[in-house]
Structure 1
C-alpha cells in the first residue's frame, strides 16, 4: 500500500497488515530517530478535584453515581504533595483536574504561581485544552487570555488530554458538551504560537472505529505541520470499569500494538510516541517499544484518573524498578526532562 496516499480509506488498510510487518515498519522509523533508547521522567501527577461540571460517559474519575466520593484538595494539600514529591526527585508536576464549578478563575493561576515560586526548577505541565475551554465557557474569557494567564503564572507546557476522538458523532455520544475537536486543536495552535509545547492524545478502544482513529491521527499531523508544537503523541487505551459506556468488546493486544505502530508510521513530524504505562500496563508498554513507541512516561507516584477506570497504576512506579524493567526489555533507559532533553542514560 502507498503510505503517501493520506486518504482514510487507504490508511485504514494498515490494520490489515501482519502485526510484525507493521511493527517492523514502525520500529525502523523509531530506531532512525531514537536508536535503542526508551525515555522516562520523574514526575508527580496532581489531580486537585474530581468534581466536574461536564459529564463524559467514558470517565470514571469524576464524581457521579459510580464514583460517589467527591473531593477538593486545598492549596496546602497540593503544596504538601508537591513538596514531598520534589524532595524525592520529581522535576515535573503534571496537574490535571476535573472541571470544578466551585473554583474561582484565579484559583488555578495562584496554585501554579505558588508552585513555581517555591520550586523554581520544576516544570509545570498543566491544564488540558478541555480545562481551558471550560474556563472560557464559565468565565467568558478568551482562549488567548487564559493561555496567557497560564504562561504568566508559570505553566511550562500543556498535557494532551481532552482530545478523546475528534469525530463529532463519537464525541456526541461519549463527551457531549465538552470541548469539540475544532476548539481543542485551536487551543493547542494558540499555545504553540506562543512558543510553547504540548502533547496530543487519542482515547481508543471504546465505541470508535478504526477509521475514526486514522482521522484523529491525521488531524494531529496537519496541525503539527503548521505549528510544530507537539512533543509527543499518546494513544490512551480506554479503561472500561466504573463508567457509563458499557463497552463489551475490548481491543486485543494485537490491535493495541497495531494502533501504536500506525501512530508512529503516520506521524513522521511528531518526534515521540508515548506508550503510557498507566493505561497499557507496564508489560504491554514495554512491548510497545518494539512497535514504534520510544517513551513510557514516568514514575507518576499517584495516579487517579486511569486507576479509577480499572488501570493498575494507582501507586505509580519506583524509578529504579522502571530502569530495571526497561533494561530487561533490551532497551537503554534514558531519563529526560519534560521537553525531551536527555539528562542521564543508564
Structure 2
C-alpha cells in the first residue's frame, strides 16, 4: 500500500511514510492535508484576540538562533516592573483581548517572585483573562535556578493564576541538533516531561517546532512523532505550531533557507502525522501573513491572533512588532475563502465572523 492510500484510509503513518510524503508534489500533498483539515474543521480558520508580553530580555542562556536576548547583537537589556505588565494587560483587555501570552528570557537577576508575582498580579487585576505563560525552557530554568522540582514550579504557576502553557522552547528534539543550536537549554526529554506533568494536572498546552535552520527533514518528522507519542498518553496538546526560523541578528550561520514550498510541505505533513493533535497553527509572525493564509489550504486551521505587540521574533526579522488590527485579520481570512472564527485559548468558539 502506498503512502497516499494509507493516508486516505486513515491509517497511522510512521517515519518512512512521512519522509515519503516530502517526495510528493506540492499539489498532491496539499490535497491530502486539506482533506484531513476539512474533515476536522471544514473551512473555519481560528484566531484569538490576544496580547503578547515579553517582560525581560536578560538571559543566562546563549542560543545561537536567538536575536532577542540582551547580547552583543542586542545590547539593550530590559526587565519590566510587574506594574507595567499589569498595565499592558489591562489596556489589551480594554481593547478586547481575551488572552495574555507571557514569555521571555531566563533572567537570573529578576527573582522567582518577579516571575510568579507577575501572573498573580495580572489575574487579580483581570480575573477573566486567560494567562498563557512560561515555556518548558523557562520552567526548567526556574527549577534549576531556585532549587525547586519541576512539580513545585508547575504547582506554583497554577497557584499564581497561569491557565495554560505555550509551546516554546521545543526547537528541535534531535539531541545533536539541539546541542548545536541551544546547548544548555532544557533537554528534549525534559521538555516533553514538563508538558506531561502539566497535562497530568488537567491543564492544556501547545507544542512548537523550530525549523528551517540546520535540521534535516528526518529531524522534523522525528520531532512530530515524539509529540504524537506524548499526545497518545496525555491528550493535553491543543495545537502544534511549526515555527519558521528567523534569520536576522543571530549567530546561526544558515546558508539555505526553506522555500515557500518546503514550508507548506512541512505544514501539510504535520497535519497528516499528528492525527491526535486537533489544531495546526500557521503562526503568521514567523511565516508572514500571506504564507500563513496559503497554509490554511495545506492542513493548517489556525493563525494565532492579533498579538498587538511581539518582540522575540521581531528581533530576528519577523514583521510582528506591532501585531495586526482585528478588522484586517478578519478581512484577510475571508478574502482567502475561509470562515474567520474567533476562539478562546482552549479552542472554544466565541464568534463566527
- TM-score class normalised by the smaller sequence: over 0.9
Among 148, 158, 167, which residue is 1:151 paired with?
A: 158
TM-score (norm 1): 0.99
Mapped to 2, the partners of 1:7 and 1:97 lie a distance apart of 35
Mapped to 2, the partners of 1:303 and 1:114 lie a distance apart of 21
Mapped to 1, the partners of 2:47 and 2:205 lie a distance apart of 16
Among 274, 282, 290, which residue is 1:283 paired with?
A: 290
In the alignment, does 2:226 pair up with 1:199? no
Mapped to 2, the partners of 1:134 and 1:14 lie a distance apart of 37
In the alignment, does 2:324 pair up with 1:317? yes
Among 56, 78, 81, which residue is 2:88 paired with?
A: 81
Mapped to 2, the partners of 1:221 and 1:145 lie a distance apart of 26
Among 10, 13, 18, which residue is 1:11 paired with?
A: 18
Which residue number corresponds to residue 308 of structure 1?
A: 315
Following superposition, the deviation at residue 10 of structure 1 comes to: 3.5
Which residue number corresponds to residue 263 of structure 2?
A: 256
| SS of aligned partner of 2:241 | strand
TM-score (norm 2): 0.97
Pair 35,10 (structure 1): closer, same or farther in 2 beyond 3 Å: closer
Deviation digits for residues 205-247 of structure 1, max 9, x if unmatched?
Answer: 0000000000000000000000000000000000000000011
Mapped to 1, the partners of 2:292 and 2:18 lie a distance apart of 24
Following superposition, the deviation at residue 12 of structure 1 comes to: 1.0
Query: Do 2:82 and 2:121's aligned partners in 1 also have CA atoms closer than 8 Å?
Result: no
Mapped to 1, the partners of 2:249 and 2:98 lie a distance apart of 32
Query: Do 1:300 and 1:317's aligned partners in 2 also have CA atoms closer than 8 Å?
Result: yes
Which residue number corresponds to residue 124 of structure 1?
A: 131
Q: How many residues of Structure 1 are paired with residues of Structure 2 in the alignment?
A: 346
In the alignment, does 2:191 pair up with 1:209? no
Following superposition, the deviation at residue 11 of structure 1 comes to: 2.0
Mapped to 1, the partners of 2:182 and 2:337 lie a distance apart of 40
Mapped to 1, the partners of 2:51 and 2:236 lie a distance apart of 23
Following superposition, the deviation at residue 9 of structure 1 comes to: 3.3
Mapped to 2, the partners of 1:185 and 1:57 lie a distance apart of 22
State the superposition RMSD in angstroms. Answer: 0.9
Query: Do 2:57 and 2:68's aligned partners in 1 also have CA atoms closer than 8 Å?
Result: yes
Following superposition, the deviation at residue 13 of structure 1 comes to: 1.5
Mapped to 1, the partners of 2:114 and 2:334 lie a distance apart of 42
In the alignment, does 2:209 pair up with 1:227? no
Following superposition, the deviation at residue 136 of structure 1 comes to: 1.2
| SS of aligned partner of 1:290 | coil
Following superposition, the deviation at residue 6 of structure 1 comes to: 4.4
In the alignment, does 2:51 pair up with 1:71? no
Among 39, 45, 56, which residue is 1:38 paired with?
A: 45
Query: Do 2:106 and 2:138's aligned partners in 1 also have CA atoms closer than 8 Å?
Result: yes
Mapped to 1, the partners of 2:132 and 2:335 lie a distance apart of 30
Of 5-14 and 66-75, deviating more is 5-14
Mapped to 1, the partners of 2:282 and 2:100 lie a distance apart of 19
Mapped to 1, the partners of 2:15 and 2:347 lie a distance apart of 31
Query: Do 1:5 and 1:11's aligned partners in 2 also have CA atoms closer than 8 Å?
Result: no
Mapped to 2, the partners of 1:302 and 1:311 lie a distance apart of 12
- Note the residue ranges of structure 2 that are not aligned, 5 or more in a row: none
Mapped to 1, the partners of 2:86 and 2:17 lie a distance apart of 50
Following superposition, the deviation at residue 8 of structure 1 comes to: 2.3
